[in-house]
Amino acid sequence: MLMLRNLVTSLFEHEQIKTTLPKARDTARLAEKIITMGKKGGLSSYQRANGFLLKPQLTPKVFGTFAKRYADREGGYTRIHKYGNRPGDNAPHAILELVDNPRDIKFEMTARAIGWEVLSKKLGTTGPRELVNSGVGGVESIVSQEQQLGPKDRGHLRPTTRWNLQKVLRFRNPESVSILGKKAEDHIDTLLAQPVALKQLLDVNSEKSESADETPLVGPKALRIRAGQKLPGGNQSTLRLAQGALGKEPSSRPRWFERRKLGIDRSALWGQL
């Protein structure tokens, strides 16, 4: 029990911890009970929560910050993200976090999904070179529109992304719409800058003289397209990329003349840069 009390205390202190999956589930159950005490208020609840936490200075945070943040929520104050297996004993890892915390993983991943899908849609009508020069704007207005749409309505985003967008913004303040749009625009800029940076690094490496003393902080290998990675505006699905050589690939040339790298998205769209 002392271990779980320590995990709950660390969760309230940092609002995001990493532990094994069984411990994360037990910690989430106890943390939600303590937050419910904070929402109820009263001297009795305060004394019980203060006796449970290993750091008494966190009790005002539970009865103040968390009670105000989750005032409109009826439950579900924690979220568990599975994080693979731990090296060594192969125990299942997980990230346990408080919902709507300043470093909310679901909020960050939803912003990246929005940026990826908006860029993919823009590439259907505009070339990548023009987008690199002018950028992609109006993402905040797209977020505001998608927040009002239903599950069967047609919009700029896929239904699953729209559903996640509405979930992460449901209990947040109105300023979160602009924050989410800004994060999506930042991810769009990253996606547009990656092929340009890769091309420049390859040019620098090809023209590098022997007298060069400085080496770049990031090499071309760190920016190259990885196997199974789908590019925005690509013409192949992620499932097709994951199949690699096992999937049927129509080709006019015999296979023994091809030198292919499995799972790489060869979309001709990004070759225009």
Residue 246 is predicted with a pLDDT of 56
Burial zone of 50 (CB within 10 Å; 0-12 exposed, 13-18 middle, 19+ buried):
middle
Question: Is the pLDDT score of 197 beyond 60?
Answer: yes
User: In this structure, what token pair is assigned to residue 251?
Assistant: 């080709």
Q: How far apart are CA 45 and CA 51, in angstroms?
A: 10
Share of the chain above pLDDT 90, in %: 55
- 83 DSSP assignment: E
How confident is the model over 48-103, as pLDDT tens digits?
999 999 999 999 999 999 999 999 999 899 999 999 999 889 999 999 999 999 99
H-state helical runs in the chain: 2-14, 21-40, 43-52, 59-61, 67-69, 105-123, 128-134, 139-148, 159-169, 175-206, 220-223, 238-243
Topology of domain 10-98, CATH: 50s Ribosomal Protein L17; Chain: A, (3.90.1030)
Domain locations along the chain: 10-98, 107-193, 225-273
Among 187, 215, 184, CA closest to 201:
215
Give the confidence band of 187 by pLDDT, cuts at 50, 70, 90. Answer: very high
Q: Is the pTM of this model over 0.85?
A: no
How confident is the model over 231-245, as pLDDT tens digits?
787 767 777 777 765
Q: How far apart are CA 98 and CA 28, in angstroms?
A: 9
User: In this structure, what token pair is assigned to residue 146?
Assistant: 């998608």
